[in-house]
Amino acid sequence: MRDERLPLLRRHAALRCAVGRYCPLGFNATWAYLTATAGPAPDLRRDPAALLRALDMLEESRAVHLTEVAEFAARRHLEKAAGRRSPHPSDTAALRGPRWPSTSPPSRLGLIAAVANRHAAFRQFPYPDETLSSDTRVRQLADLHARLDASASAYLEALGRPAPAAVAELTATIDAIDDLTAPGYAPLNGCLLPWLRFANLLAYAVAASAAK
Q: pLDDT band for 132, please (50, 70, 90 cuts).
A: low
Distance between CA atoms of residues 6 and 10, nearest Å: 7
DSSP secondary structure string for all residues of 18-38 = HHHH--TT-HHHHHHHHHHHH
Angle at 202 between CA 200 and CA 205, to 5 degrees: 110
Between 125 and 148, whose confidence is greater?
148
The pLDDT value recorded for residue 2 is 82
Report whether pLDDT(139) > 90: no
The pLDDT value recorded for residue 189 is 82
- Counting every residue, how long is the chain? 212
pLDDT in tens, 172-189: 999 999 998 888 777 778
Q: pLDDT band for 133, please (50, 70, 90 cuts).
A: low
Question: What one-letter code names the amino acid at 43?
Answer: D
Distance between CA atoms of residues 147 and 153, nearest Å: 10
Q: pLDDT band for 136, please (50, 70, 90 cuts).
A: low
Angle at 23 between CA 46 and CA 33, to 5 degrees: 50
Could you tell me how far CA 136 lies from the centroid of its own chain?
30
Q: What are phi and psi of 5, to 5 degrees?
A: -75, -20
pTM for the predicted model, two decimal places: 0.90
Among candidates 208, 199, 210, 191, which has minimal Cα distance to 99? Answer: 208
Angle at 105 between CA 97 and CA 193, to 5 degrees: 15
Report whether pLDDT(202) > 80: yes
Among candidates 105, 113, 179, which has minimal Cα distance to 140? Answer: 179
Between 1 and 9, whose confidence is greater?
9
Torsion of CA 189, 30, 32, 20, to 10 degrees: -90
